């Protein structure tokens, strides 16, 4: 069944934004080696597009976490996949597709920070500030969006739609 949806961001708009972010990151990290940590699964398309546009030496690793909201401002998460490379002393940039409550990113940042990276920042394509439950600093944000359910460019609805090149809002009945 085809779900009702409304276009939000075209592939062209996303491509332009990814290029802008890549230029900022390349300038900010000039002279340093980056370790990108892509948060699976949603960031896989964004991370692969972004890293191909970076001009600084970059390696990539992956993390996967499932967060649970316990109270309004507290959560915990289970790690389903951890990075293989040590992050101690590295310049680490966490790559997310979307920050919603912030719980997943908070858990990931806390986990990585405990290993004493040289620096630790977050880059997200989308940000839903209206949904935030925990404070989290986002160094690079592509687009701030309203509190709507989005699909495409890595993001799914019941595991479908990740391969769409554009981003849509899923509409209720
Ligand atoms: C999404 C997204 C973030 C997280 C953001 O992942 O990729 O990791 O949710 O939500 P939060 O800010 O409320 O924690 P999801 O759990 O849908 O898994 P997926 O990336 O594998 O689809």
pLDDT of residue 169: 97
Pocket test for ligand 1, best of 100, 144, 155 (most atoms within 8 A of CB): 100
Q: Report the distance separating Cα 8 and Cα 128, nearest Å.
A: 14
**How many Cα neighbours within 13 Å face the side chain of 14?**
22
Q: What is the CATH number of the domain that holds 120?
A: 3.40.50.2020
**Ligand 1 center–CA 31 separation, angstroms:** 32
If one counts the domains in the chain, the total is: 1
Among 113, 139, 111, 110, which Cα is nearest to 127's? Answer: 139
- In this structure, the residue with its CA closest to atom 7 of ligand 1 is 42
Q: Which atom of ligand 1 is nearest to the CA of 162?
A: 22
Q: Please write the tens of the pLDDT for every residue from 113-168.
A: 999 999 999 999 999 999 999 999 999 999 999 999 999 999 999 999 999 999 99
Report whether 149 contacts 157 (CB < 8 A): yes
Domain range for 126 is 5-170
Report whether 171 contacts 6 (CB < 8 A): yes
pTM value surpassing 0.75: yes
- In this structure, the residue with its CA closest to atom 22 of ligand 1 is 42
Confidence bin at 76 (pLDDT 50/70/90) = confident
Q: Which atom of ligand 1 is nearest to the CA of 99?
A: 12
Q: Which of 51-55, 69-73, 98-102, 127-131 has the lowest mean pLDDT?
A: 69-73
Confidence bin at 3 (pLDDT 50/70/90) = confident
Q: Which atom of ligand 1 is nearest to the CA of 42?
A: 20
Calculated CA dihedral for residues 159, 163, 166, 167, nearest 10 degrees: 10
- In this structure, the residue with its CA closest to atom 6 of ligand 1 is 42
């Amino acid at each position: 069944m085809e779900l009702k949806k409304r276009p939000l961001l075209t592939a062209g708009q996303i491509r332009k934004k990814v290029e802008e972010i890549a230029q900022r990151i390349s300038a900010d990290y000039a002279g340093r080696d980056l370790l990108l940590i892509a948060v699976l699964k949603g960031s896989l398309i964004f991370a692969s597009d972004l890293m191909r546009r970076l001009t600084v030496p970059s390696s990539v690793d992956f993390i996967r976490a499932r967060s649970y909201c316990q109270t309004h401002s507290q959560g915990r998460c289970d790690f389903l996949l951890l990075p293989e490379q040590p992050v101690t002393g590295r310049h680490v940039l966490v790559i997310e597709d979307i920050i919603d409550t912030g719980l997943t990113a908070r858990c990931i940042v806390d986990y990585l920070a405990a290993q004493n990276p040289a620096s630790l920042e977050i880059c997200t394509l989308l940000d839903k500030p209206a949904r935030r439950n925990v404070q989290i600093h986002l160094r690079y944000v592509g687009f701030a969006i309203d509190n709507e359910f989005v699909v495409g460019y890595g993001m799914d609805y019941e595991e479908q739609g990740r391969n769409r090149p554009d981003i849509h809002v899923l509409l209720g009945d």
